[in-house]
Amino acid sequence: MKISTGAHMMQGATRLATIVAVLARHGIAGMFEKRFGQAAGYETDDPWLASTRITPRHLRLALEELGPSFIKLGQLMSTRADIFPPAWIEELIRLQDQVPPIPFPLIQRIIEHELNRPLNDIFRSIEPKAIAAASVAQVHAAVLMTGEAVAVKVIRPGIRKKIQQDIRVMAALARQFESLSESGRLVGAVNVVREFERTVFKELDMFIEAGNMSRFAQNFRKIDEIHVPEVFWDYTSRSVLVMEYVSGVKMDQVDAIRDMGIDPEDIALIGLRSFSRQLMQFGFFHADPHPGNTIVMPDGRVGLVDFGIIGYLDNAAMRQVAELFLGFAEHDYDQIVGALHRAEIIDGDLAKNSEFLADLKDACETFYGRSLKTISARDVYDQIMKLVLAWHIRLPRNILLILKTFIQTEALGKILGSSASLLEQARPFARRLVMKGYEAHKISKTIGKDFQDLYTHAREIPRWTNTILKKLSEGKQEIEIRHSGFQNLDDRLEKGINRLTIGLIVAASTIAGSLVLNSSQKIFEFTVDYLGHHTLSATGILGMTGYVIATILGLWLFISIFRSGKM
């Protein structure tokens, strides 16, 4: 164990030395020194550039030279426009993931080991020369023994171990960057590395990518203009993916597309409609639509390949995105703010902040009166990012992925010479999605989920109660009960009871007086000489007294209730 630990430390130290050497060659090593910018006499209003002499281009070149782990880290950073300045995002999006292929004999050994059978038992033929080679995998064309033309994607050997080693070095550098630099703390360098670690290994698992492809194929099964390759599951493992070979040309090869008799602008519209459908109909979208991942087929369809980077939206998030889009398109600021609040992007205080609302209106009014055809996703993106950076809003990763994919998708359209706007193409999908939220089956589905959540919480109540009581018995928990609106409750209750009591006395006195006066038995009769002789009895006097008392109390009770205004 000590030898292994020592070996890891030695490898880590060697890799760290390599990284520092590359950073120094690109003039970046000083970013980890205190007051580097000030010592160099470098002055700028940009807080990022004020703390370091590094330029966006230097960073991109350094990341490309450092290899797969750092290229993937840079690609993640390119989606975090809420914390990185626009110039840096623009450069990081250009990161190239092309490297020389590894020798075919090594590829053959990986395939045979993963699939546990000789290569000749799987393929009728396989091309030794890779048709694509990236930092984590490469692709070879082949033909299965059953005759299907396929593409074989193979993960490079040792890449997982290398990335894990690089992540340890990244974490150490991120901690140092945060401890020495205000910019590092502002960006949250350690959290960026943690997010990278959570996502990068998903791209190295071919089972996950194959599952993404199958789900896409199911979503687009009734849409003829999009084609998703079939997965051959019998020949797929964690490090090998065998899928249908999609013949055609890359989407940026405009002349080749025309040579096939296809109008490039039609292809651009297919791409814009496809992304709108993914985002607002399926909630499951291809988040890396660059030209190498988008193939124009000879029959005019568009083939989507490489499903390593995928974005997800649940039904609620899909509706919120649609509401944001429609609110922006129709200048409905209440709808925009409501959607942002429901998505928990802003809190209730910010939603009511007059200065924030003014900035939001300023951002949207930039496009007022303009046709959606004249508004690019890039324009909208720039305005959103100004607002986000000014108010220190942290956007969810999927929202950032959507914004990045918006730009990439529309950029493909411009490469094809199209003037179509992604906003214009997405608008009908957004409107249908918002309206669909009111359909009965959606409501019933939501109610069913709410009942499921209620059942889950109900099952937890005994455990929570036991925990609270246990802490109470140990003196570790205090319960404070506050009430409001009960200040005069005692007085009101007492008055009500008193009135009820008096009412009962009135009723009893009236009944008693009636019974006594109607009684045939007379007690203690005597004669009164007043305006003539009258014979009275004690029972008669008691009956009359009951009537008098009942009358007086009844009148008092009536007046009291009348004066209270609660008749």
Tokens, residue 189: 């360098």
Structure confidence at residue 256 (pLDDT): 94
Question: Could you please report the per-residue DSSP string of 287-306?
Answer: S---GGGEEE-TTS-EEE--
Half-sphere exposure of 383 (CA within 13 A, CB side): 15
Average pLDDT across the chain, whole number: 76
Q: What is the pLDDT of residue 537?
A: 63
Name the percent of the chain lying above pLDDT 90. 21
Asked about 252 being catalytic, the answer comes back as no
**pLDDT recorded at residue 475:** 67
Q: Find where tokens 């988040």 sit.
A: 287
pLDDT of residue 98 exceeding 90, the answer is no
Determine the average pLDDT of the residues in 316-345: 81
Residue 566, pLDDT score: 55
pLDDT of amino acid 171: 86
Residue 316 to residue 328: CA distance in whole angstroms: 18
Residue 254: per-residue pLDDT: 92
Q: What is the mean pLDDT of residues 247-274?
A: 91
pLDDT given at position 266: 92
- Position with higher pLDDT, 455 vs 239: 239
* pLDDT score for 146: 93
Name the more confident of 203 and 514: 203
Q: Are 68 and 163 in contact (CB under 8 A)?
A: yes
pLDDT for 481 equals 59
Beta bridge partners of 533: 529
* Predicted pLDDT at 59: 83
Q: Rounded to 5 degrees, what angle do the CA atoms 202, 206, 209 make?
A: 70
Model confidence at 236, pLDDT cuts 50, 70, 90, reads: very high
The two structure tokens encoding residue 472: 């109470």
Q: How far apart are CA 224 and CA 160, in angstroms?
A: 38
63 φ/ψ sector (left φ>0, alpha ψ -120 to 50, else beta)? alpha
Residue 275: which of 266, 265, 286 has the closest Cα? Answer: 286
C-alpha span between 53 and 265 (Å, rounded): 43
Q: Which has more pLDDT, 157 or 414? A: 157
- Confidence label for 2 from pLDDT (cuts 50, 70 and 90): very low
Give the pLDDT score at 249: 94
Q: What is the pLDDT of residues 52-85, one digit of tens each?
A: 456 788 888 888 888 888 888 887 777 666 667 7
* Residue 21 CA, distance from chain mean position: 38
**Banded pLDDT at 467 (limits 50, 70, 90):** confident
Secondary structure, 3-state, 436-493: HCCCHHHHHHHHHHHHHHHHHHHHHHHHHHHHHHHHHHCCCCCCCCCCCCCCCHHHHH
pLDDT at 518: 61
Catalytic residue among 288, 299, 347, 359: 288
How do the domains of the chain map onto residue ranges? 2-96+183-189, 252-448, 496-564
Q: What is the percent of the chain with per-residue pLDDT over 70, rounded to a whole number?
A: 67
- Range in 103-117, 178-192, 505-519 with the lowest mean pLDDT: 505-519
Q: Where is mean pLDDT largest: 12-21, 223-232, 313-322?
A: 223-232
Q: What pLDDT band is residue 525 in, cutting at 50, 70 and 90?
A: low
Question: Which range, 235-244, 412-421, 444-453, 494-503, has the best average confidence (pLDDT)?
Answer: 235-244
HEC letters along 383-407: HHHHHHHHCCCCCCHHHHHHHHHHH
User: Does residue 50 surpass a pLDDT of 50?
Assistant: no
